[in-house]
Chain A
Amino acid sequence: MRLRTHAAAACGNANRESGGRSSEKAPALDGSTGLTISAENVTHYYRSPNGRSTPALKDVSLTVNAREFVAIVGPSGCGKSTLLNILSGLTPPSRGGAFLDGEPLTGVTRRIGYMSQADTLMPWRTAVENVEFALEVQGSPKKERREIARELLCKAGLGGFEKSYPHELSGGMKKRVGILRILAAKSEALFMDEPFGALDVFTKEMLQDEILRLWQETRKTILFVTHDLAEAITLSDRVILMTARPSTIKTEYAIPLSRPRSALETRFQPDFVELQRLIWNDLRAEVRRAAEEAS
């Protein structure tokens, strides 16, 4: 990765190397203890303008433990995004409730950083202005937040692109800026909704490695939605398989692969292949069911 080495030299930050690749089980660097997120009997309907309601989620209960990396997979359109919206406080569920560390969730919260499926960088803000957005709305002084945003960009190998507007960045860079933007907010948990769906294989793998490293370093609770089963297994401690609409949780699979992991090497472990085969069989049944329902 040419970009990274180049920028690292330009950054010259003393505290840049925080032991990213070390294998020791370091505590969370920002001192957060991690956030436990849970859903209890969440049922959700979509109301269309003509008054009909479509069930999206049915009796979903799950707990994402503090510092755990959980991936959710399921057929497309199965309500995975809806579940994230509910757990982040964006959408109140029709029935049931979401909880953060056992406290009921009543609205959006800064404790969760949410990277949605859509590209939500603000096109009128430069990379550095996008990264500092959360700090800005929290009233952090300009000099301070600029400093923090610059350093994050530098560390991610985007040192030369601070003043670039989103349309001047590549797809992978945009995703990276999107991740930095939620990291700047210092939330305790991260939600990611198919963040790498539209990227090419190599960029995707690079970013997966960065997410693995990020989790290793910060141990933030991460909830990751994807339709890419290999991605789910590569990244997470636990894969949750959701059914076709109305979605419920079908099965959970523990992913006992050793950490720290690398996106590429993990894929060639015999355990990985075995897990993939196991989960894929169940997933395929659901994908088929979803397709039948749609037709």
Chain B
Amino acid sequence: MKPERRSDAAVLVLRIALVVGTLAAWELLTRLGLIDPFFMGQPTAILEDMVSAFATGEIIPHIVVTLKEALAGLFIGAVAGIGLAIVLDKAETLSRVLDPIIMAFYGIPKLALGPIFILWFGLGMKSKIFLAALMVFFLVLFNAYAGFRNVDRALIDAARLMGAKKGQIMRKVVLPSSAPWLLAGMKAGLGAALLGAVVGEYIGANAGLGWMVEYAGGMYDIPRVFTCIITLMLLMAGLNALLGLAEKRLLKWRPAAL
């Protein structure tokens, strides 16, 4: 027999206790001089820095830059990925020709291309958007393609028999039917887009949270590094929650068990 399942409230309390306990231990260890706050940071110092970064508004433009890059990358990568998936789904020969080539490109560690994109597109947002988009592109492409392949043939036939034209079948059968796949691709893509943007900034930029991490690290400003990291964490959590809401709305037709 499995042990009795704890209530959600109990789990929440345990969770908070774990986080608070870790932070308290960290703070205590630095106060006791057992770890060096210069290298490891200190929760109170990080909080202080974070408050000042937001209060002075110093961090805001960098958040905006990183968000813009990540979201633009996500959008462009997703549209391109879905677009190519549609083409490959329709053109069987082309998909067979391209299959190993796409896999080869997918195998490249895209972040390693960052320096090249910065040479090509400069230090501004363009190079980061490109990097983010490229990372999203493959994730969405594979998911969308798998989604299209998995559309129930019988549903398409049923739609055809009821008089649906090709475009209508795409819009009213194929896309909604592969929505779970597309959303899974977007979810994975969201993390990749943020990663692409931040690493791109890290390699070479003049703004953005990635640039700020790099800059603060160079100055041994450990609290500032943590401020940026926590901000990124919160951004990711917020965007994920938004996507979760969209998912709930778009997939409300699915049985709850899934």
Contacts and interface: CB of A to CB of B under 8 A. Distances in A.
B55 interface: no
Contacts, number: 62
Contacts of B165: 137
A122 interface: yes
B253 A137 contact: no
A242 interface: no
Nearest to B172: A137
A124 B154 contact: no
Contacts of B161: 88, 90, 108, 112-114
B83 interface: no
Contacts of B173: 122
Nearest to B255: A167
B162 interface: yes
B150 to A, nearest CB: 13
B176 A122 contact: yes
A134 B176 contact: no
Q: Which residue, A90, A123, A124, A125, has most C-beta atoms of chain B within 10 A?
A: A124
B149 interface: no
B162 A134 contact: yes
Interface string B18-52: 00000000000000000000000000000000000
Interface in B177-199: 177, 179
A185 B254 contact: no
Interface in B143-167: 152, 154-155, 157-165
Q: How large is the interface on A (under 10, 10 to 19, 20 to 34, 35 or more residues)?
A: 20 to 34
A137 B179 contact: no
B176 A138 contact: no
Given A122-B173, A124-B177, A137 B163 contact: yes
B206 interface: no
A137 B158 contact: no
A137 B162 contact: yes
A110 B162 contact: yes
B227 to A, nearest CB: 43
B253 A185 contact: no
B154 A133 contact: no
Contacts of A251: none
B255 A108 contact: no
Contacts of A116: 154, 157-158
B238 to A, nearest CB: 27
Nearest to B252: A165
Contacts of A63: none
Contact of B155 (A90, A122, A138, A182): A122
Interface string A180-192: 0110010000000
A136 B179 CA distance: 21
A22 interface: no
A137 B254 contact: no
A1 interface: no
Report which residue of B155, B165, B179 has the largest number of chain A beta carbons within 10 angstroms of its beta carbon.
B155
A118 interface: yes
A138 B158 contact: no
A110 B161 CA distance: 6
Contact of B154 (A118, A134, A136, A181): A118
Nearest to B163: A110
A113 B253 CA distance: 25
A120 interface: yes
Contacts of A165: 252-253
Interface in A74-129: 88, 90, 108, 110, 112-114, 116, 118, 120, 122-126
A137 B156 CA distance: 13
A126 B176 CA distance: 13
A137 B179 CA distance: 20
Interface in B230-256: 252-255
Given A124-B176, A124-B253, A167-B255, A185 B162 contact: yes
Contacts of B254: 123, 167
Nearest to B177: A124
Interface of A: 88, 90, 108, 110, 112-114, 116, 118, 120, 122-126, 133-134, 136-138, 165-167, 181-182, 185
Interface of B: 152, 154-155, 157-165, 168, 172-173, 176-177, 179, 252-255
7 contacts: A90-B157, A90-B161, A108-B163, A116-B154, A120-B152, A120-B155, A120-B157
Given A166-B253, A185-B163, 8 more contacts: A90-B161, A120-B155, A125-B253, A133-B159, A133-B172, A134-B163, A165-B253, A167-B255
In the complex, the 3 A-B pairs of residues with the closest C-beta atoms, listed nearest first = A120-B158, A134-B162, A118-B154
